[in-house]
Structure 1
Amino acid sequence: MFSLAPGVSLEATLARLEAGRHENADLAAAAAELRPLVAPARASTVLGDAAARKEIERAVAALAAQAPPRLLRELVNHLPARERPLPARAEDLAHYGRYKLLVTEGASEIRLDDIVMGSVRGRGFGSSLLQELCRYADHRSLPIVCTMMTDYPDLSRDASPEEYKAAQRTAERRLAGWYHRHGFRSSRPVDEWRSRTDLRREPGPHERKETT
């Protein structure tokens, strides 16, 4: 909600909506009204004012309710995963841009094809996307399958093979723990997961909520 990651902050999204006045004047006006309220609410939230955060969440949800499909995803991404309206199909969770999520829904499972955080890694965007996907899968009573893939270590050219392997293993452990915390499992113990390990998450108890 209150991330200040470059280009993906709530203020940046609202500014883009304002710029589209010719497409949706009402949405642009509502975005213009909300934008100056975000920074004070962020400051209040840092000081422990949960009401300020909730007020902005409600305002963003109201904007999302009137947004056309092309703009809906941008707004929904600012809501906490637990507050996001469940889509009609897994493919509607797809996201492109500074970070990426690609999923495919079949009759018996959901395939997480790709998730790449890029410049916003470590800011919580990946976790919120995965939590949202897990909520959707639980709602549909479908397992999620994926192949764990780690990025190449960002090391200098003169790094030794040992340094490369150590960095790769650190990345694998971090990613394995992340998937494991979200309920993914493999035929091997989590401390043995490596890049290209196949993972599966079984659906759990789920809420019955209308899709949008």
Structure 2
Amino acid sequence: MLAEMDVVNGLVLFVSILVVLYASKAVKNPYISRKVIHMWVGAVLLVVPFAFSGPLFPVALCLLLTGFTMLPHMKGREMPWFQFKENFGEVYFAAMTTLLLAAAWRYDIWLAVTALLFMAWGDGVTGIVRNYKYGRRYKGAWGTYAMVTVSVPLGLLLYGWSHGWAFAWIGVVGALAASYVEKLEVMDDNVSIPVFGFTVMFLLQLATGASPIT
């Protein structure tokens, strides 16, 4: 029964992503469409730990989504309402989601989800703010303010709820770390934000003995 529900839940969530992906054509701004999709994937990620009994189906679906977004780039036929030539950000995001869910599911799924939400919601809102404030992709202060404003409460609430409120500060530090690395141009945000946020929180967990209670 659990496996059957995994299949059903997986199909529902995957189809919901495709619906939002194609519905985002109505936005008429490829950059904003991209962020709308990001934020919906974040909402799906929040449901994932409750929807599946194990990592097999969510990881497989994330891998499928990685291939789905990569294929148009390989063929040179990008989906123009949210994809850009030579910009593989959405592919990296799907790939990092696949890797973090696979790596952390048995250890601490909420650690992975929190780090990925810094990207999906924190960077998603950041991109929208920057687009309307500057009219282009620019690492300005307003975007950083938006990233911190979204990510810090997110880290506080989600990490505190899942690991105990005495350790909620770890989520805050992870959010600040993710916000800091987002401002840099070290590598693609879709890689650096979840990896750096995850690593910082993971190391703090090891140092403090924090563990998931949810």
Length-normalised TM-score, structure 1:
0.33
Larger Rg: 1
Q: Which structure would you say has the larger RCO, counting Cα contacts within 8 Å and 6 or more residues apart?
A: 2
Comparing both structures, which one devotes a greater share of its residues to strand?
1
Comparing both structures, which one devotes a greater share of its residues to helix?
2
